[in-house]
Structure 1
Amino acid sequence: MMRNVGPALAGLGLAFGLAFSLLFTPTAIAQPANQPIRLLFGFAAGSAGDTLTRIVADRMQSVLGQSVVVENRVGASARIALLAVKNAPPDGTLLYIGPNGPMTITPLYDSNAGYDPATDFTPISQLVTFEFSIGVSPKLVPARNLAEMIALVKSRPELGSYGTPGGGSNPHFMAISLAAAAKIDLRPVHYRGSIPALNDVVAGQLPMMVTPLSDQIEQAKAGSLRIIATSGKERSIFAPDVPTFLEQGFPVEALGWYAAYGPAKLPRAIVERLNRIMAEAVRAPEVKDRLDALGFKPTTTSPEALAEQQKKEIDDWRPIVKASGFRAGD
């Protein structure tokens, strides 16, 4: 079967054959050569991260001349998608794209997560970074900054409910930190991704949400949601009129990122080729406006730099998660 791969590729044209051979060396192929590459995204379709994954998929398909499909494996804070990639053969046909939370926070509170971020996956590249933000429903919350929101929640505790993209996510622990600093009771309502939470806030069924800024920008521009704080060290270029948590006197700071991973022991030749293609995907001039609209900054890295960033954030989040007392199933 392996002896027939070269002639088959030659029949599809020299350009395709060269692109394919750079990614899949003969010793690395464990699946039929015509099998699609699948990118697993662990959250709902329609979110900013889902759009990013599809941008990467389009570029990969164009460069490789091979079918690349996106699958939304929703549930368990991306665990379903991650376990599928963990157990996949290391041939590059099943990959994961997702936010940093499942790779840096989830194993800290869930001893039964079923995966070890450091040993069960091969880092490929960080793709983009983004800020988190608090968005409030103008129908329920007249507050225009954190001080007003906190005062409102103290006087009307029923307005202390907030949506998250999932229990144990970065936004969840950011809100826990804010509640402790402000001495207020904030009660999480966990969704499967940001979009269902966003829909409820816009409809006036939920007072507020803590999610990636990228998932709130369009509704904020439309006036159906008001952003009152962002999570970077400095104001976001995507919401320059909104002060940060730090500006407003609260020690809450965090950046999110999306990155790509493969199964453990993914061959270096495949990793390097994917790293280059994915960097081209998010830095292509023709996608800049799309990424800007989503609140994403391209920040591609080497596989080694991604591994180092992941380890640092695990160490940074460990005392915060421990102090919260949160455990899987809470």
Structure 2
Amino acid sequence: MPDRKITRQAFLKSIAALGLTAALQPLSAQISNGYPSRAIRLVVPFAPGGNTDLIARILGQALAEELGQPVVVENISGANGSIGTSRVAAAAADGYTLLFGTAGTQAINQSLYKNLSEKNLDDFEYLGLVTSIPNMLVINEARTPVGSVAELLALAQSSQAGLNYGSPGAGSTIHLSAEMFGTAAGVKLLHVPYRGSAPALADLMGGQLDFIFENITPALPFVTSGKLKALAVASEERVPLLPDVPTMKESGFDNFVTGTWNGVLAPKGTPQAIVDRLSTAILQCAAKPDFKAKVQEMGGQPLEMGPEEFKRFTREEYQRWNAVVAAAGVEKL
């Protein structure tokens, strides 16, 4: 048999060749070869229990199965989502800390907070937009005895003091939706901010508020049970779960489409190979029938929007909400 012994010189040449091959690979490819090798943190910049938190947990479970590593949802709330969002922006750009962003954190806060600006839109890599959830105009008929948006408008016009409305805080899509309504209708409204949707809905049911433009997810159980009445949904088309409830557009308010949306982002500078890996996995999860069904049960619309389209959409949303904030004269925080 031929002698297969490898000399020390040949062995060193082989090692050198392997090292050269690795060195010639793009850095992003080297980093992502073993990605992910540990748990991924998905930051929800709001308290547990809201629709953003619930959808993040549904997506996180599907994403863990897709990537083969745990996806741990972490809630970091405060300042309309700005605190958790800024922490993700400052995290290591290695694909192990992600943000579950919303219309508020990615498109509204930049117009509301003095320390933020449009430039903050570039603090992230955009991975995928997965849901859109509309707002809904709801009332307590015992307090506000109207049957349509037109009748609510007539009531507002006849009220010297003006109607009041609740929201989970200044700058939320719920707050700004009501401001849009007041501006478009030319009526006086009084904003009553709360620490979340639950106490605002409780006061609406208790007869302390005239109306709320609530996100459809927390309001839906109260509407279907008859405790509250939905006058309109602020979506492009009627919501399948509430087929008899007209849209704001059908109610005479053109282009009145408001709500929140959810997408996954990573810190700026995350290697492209990791961005591609995550984006592919996120969109695969968003396309699964089980994920879509759960989102629809919450009154939402499942989406599968990739990085470039998601980034372009976010900038358009920023411009739209910035105009609403300016028209309403909302003071910067």
| Structure 1 length-normalised TM | 0.83
Query: What SS does the corresponding residue of 1:298 show, helix, strand or coil?
Result: strand
1:90 is the counterpart of 2:93: yes
Match of 1:297 in 2: 301
**1:145-201 Cα shifts (integer Å, max 9, x gaps):** 112223334455667221223311223222112112223222222234433323332
Aligned-residue offset at 1:281: 2.4
Aligned-residue offset at 1:84: 0.8
1:270 is the counterpart of 2:274: yes
**1:231-274 Cα shifts (integer Å, max 9, x gaps):** 12332233221112222222323353211111111112222222
Query: What SS does the corresponding residue of 2:72 show, helix, strand or coil?
Result: strand
Aligned-residue offset at 1:318: 3.0
Match of 1:198 in 2: 201
From 241, 244, 267, give the equivalent of 1:241: 244
1:8-23 correspondence runs (5 A): none
1:149-168 correspondence runs (5 A): 149-155=152-158, 160-168=163-171
Give, as a single letter, the amino acid of the residue that structure 1 aligns with 2:31: T
Match of 2:79 in 1: 76
- Asked whether the 8 Å contact 1:163–1:189 carries over to 2, the reply is yes
Give, as a single letter, the amino acid of the residue that structure 1 aligns with 2:263: A
Match of 2:322 in 1: 318
CA distance in 2, matches of 1:60, 1:234: 30
Query: What SS does the corresponding residue of 2:87 show, helix, strand or coil?
Result: helix
| Cα RMSD after superposing both structures | 2.6
1:208 is the counterpart of 2:211: yes
Give, as a single letter, the amino acid of the residue that structure 2 aligns with 1:84: R
Match of 2:55 in 1: 52
Match of 2:22 in 1: none
CA distance in 1, matches of 2:331, 2:108: 11
- Asked whether the 8 Å contact 1:161–1:207 carries over to 2, the reply is yes
Give, as a single letter, the amino acid of the residue that structure 1 aligns with 2:76: R
Q: Percent identity?
A: 31
Query: What SS does the corresponding residue of 1:242 show, helix, strand or coil?
Result: coil
Change (3 A) 1:115 1:147: closer
Change (3 A) 1:43 1:157: farther
- Asked whether the 8 Å contact 1:74–1:192 carries over to 2, the reply is no
Match of 1:282 in 2: 286
Match of 1:309 in 2: 313
Match of 1:109 in 2: 112
Q: Which runs of 4+ in 1 moved over 4 A?
A: 154-159
- Asked whether the 8 Å contact 2:59–2:291 carries over to 1, the reply is no
Q: Highest CA radius of gyration, 1 or 2? A: 2
Give, as a single letter, the amino acid of the residue that structure 2 aligns with 1:43: F
From 114, 120, 123, give the equivalent of 1:120: 123
* Residue segments in structure 1 that go unaligned for 5+ positions in a row: 1-23
CA distance in 1, matches of 2:288, 2:234: 27
Give, as a single letter, the amino acid of the residue that structure 1 aligns with 2:301: K
Query: What SS does the corresponding residue of 1:217 show, helix, strand or coil?
Result: helix
CA distance in 1, matches of 2:232, 2:201: 16
Give, as a single letter, the amino acid of the residue that structure 2 aligns with 1:263: P
1:218 is the counterpart of 2:221: yes
Change (3 A) 1:271 1:198: farther
- Asked whether the 8 Å contact 1:138–1:225 carries over to 2, the reply is yes
CA distance in 2, matches of 1:203, 1:50: 26
CA distance in 2, matches of 1:318, 1:101: 11
CA distance in 2, matches of 1:100, 1:163: 19
Single out whichever of 249-258 and 155-164 deviates more from structure 2.
155-164
CA distance in 2, matches of 1:66, 1:324: 45
From 20, 43, 49, give the equivalent of 1:40: 43
- How many pairs were matched up? 305
